[in-house]
Amino acid sequence: MPAFVFGLPLHPLVVHAVVVLVPLALLTGIAIAVWPAARRRYGWPVVFLAVLATLSIPVATSSGEELRDRLPENALIHTHAELGDQLLAFVAPMTIALAALVLLDRFRTARADGPGTTIAPAARWTRPAAVALAAVAVALAAVSAVQVVRIGDSGARAVWHNTKYVAPTHHGDDD
């Protein structure tokens, strides 16, 4: 993966995919986990979004490693990289839990085709399994959200820690 695109580091560009897709997948994932009607209507699009979010993480970490290898050793960058490497361990299982929940929901609500056919009741284990999968998905979403904030904060600290701010000056273009 190239470290630079058009003279700019690739990592700050691709990390925006993670910053947008992961929280969106977390929020919509929680919605379909706790709201069965939303799960039936939006389950597969949310799973697709979660897959995209999951796939964006290795791209961001890989581009971050390329950039890190071109910078002087720095404890703040090291911390940011360590936190970034952990995110996939939370988002990928959440994605799997959401996919399993949507599949289970489809199994539970399957209808027999054709006139005169009867619908077999769902097995007894499907309701507790759905509750357990929903709980796992929500817990992993919460942990992932905290991790995204920690990663973003550590990245901002790594980039801006030596920046000295001054009082604003008037340049004449703010009139």
pLDDT digits (tens, 9 = 90+) for 28-67: 999 999 999 999 999 999 999 999 999 999 999 999 999 8
pLDDT digits (tens, 9 = 90+) for 81-140: 999 999 999 999 999 999 999 999 888 877 545 565 555 666 788 889 999 999 999 999
pLDDT of 114 reads: 52
Q: How far apart are CA 175 and CA 83, in angstroms?
A: 43
- Structural domain boundaries in the chain: 4-110+124-160
pLDDT of 26 reads: 97
Q: How far apart are CA 61 and CA 17, in angstroms?
A: 12
Q: How far apart are CA 24 and CA 32, in angstroms?
A: 12
Is 13's pLDDT higher than 80?
A: yes
Q: Which residues 6+ apart lie within 8 Å of 79 measured at CB? A: 154, 158
Name the residue among 150, 21, 137 with its Cα closest to residue 85. 150
- Burial (0-12, 13-18, 19+ Cβ within 10 Å), 73: exposed
Give the pLDDT mean for 139-156: 96
The residue to which tokens 């929500």 are assigned: 138
Residue 8's SS3 state is strand
**Single-letter residue type at 77:** I
Name the residue among 67, 43, 11 with its Cα closest to residue 130. 43
pLDDT of 137 reads: 97
pTM for the complete prediction?
Answer: 0.85
pLDDT of 152 reads: 95
pLDDT of 164 reads: 76
Q: Of residues 167 and 86, which shows the higher confidence score?
A: 86
pLDDT of 129 reads: 92
Q: Which residues 6+ apart lie within 8 Å of 74 measured at CB? A: 158
